[in-house]
């Protein structure tokens, strides 16, 4: 797997990452992920050089983060960088930012994420989040 420098970080990211927005599902229901197949796919990617995975609070109606957390068990968490996203449209206060992150960490069954992105950011949401001191 080809790798590239990742900005100024002392880390090289694989040319391909794994996005967990469209995982295999059961009964044509986006909230019902085919867990064995999805975990097999994710781990196959990791075993073959992918070292970055991306998910979000709302993917698969809230079940993607849980599935990714399961895929990261058995030592896989140490092999990859994990990104998820703050659901900016739901944030109304500074406390919400902490509450959503804590919930996401539980869903992901991890103590930390490597990249926490601002999901669905537009000018209006950016203005609101800067008022709430999101960068603090």
Catalytic site positions: 59
Task: Write out the two tokens for 106.
Answer: 């539980």
Name 8's bridge partners: none
Task: Write out the two tokens for 75.
Answer: 């030592």
Contacts for 99 with CB less than 8 Å, ≥ 6 apart: none
Q: What are phi and psi of 53, to 5 degrees?
A: -130, 140
């Amino acid at each position: 797997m080809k790798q590239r420098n990742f900005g100024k970080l002392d880390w090289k990211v694989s040319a391909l990452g794994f996005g967990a927005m469209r995982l295999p599902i059961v009964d044509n229901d986006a909230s019902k992920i085919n867990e064995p197949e999805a975990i097999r796919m994710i781990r196959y990617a990791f075993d073959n050089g992918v070292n970055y995975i991306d998910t979000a609070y709302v993917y698969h109606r809230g079940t993607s983060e849980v599935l990714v957390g399961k895929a990261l068990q058995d030592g896989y968490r140490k092999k990859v960088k994990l990104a998820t996203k703050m659901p900016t449209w739901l944030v109304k206060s500074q406390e919400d930012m902490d509450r959503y992150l804590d919930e996401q960490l539980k869903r992901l069954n991890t103590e930390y994420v490597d990249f926490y992105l601002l999901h669905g950011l537009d000018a209006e949401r950016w203005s609101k989040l800067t008022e709430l001191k999101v960068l603090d």
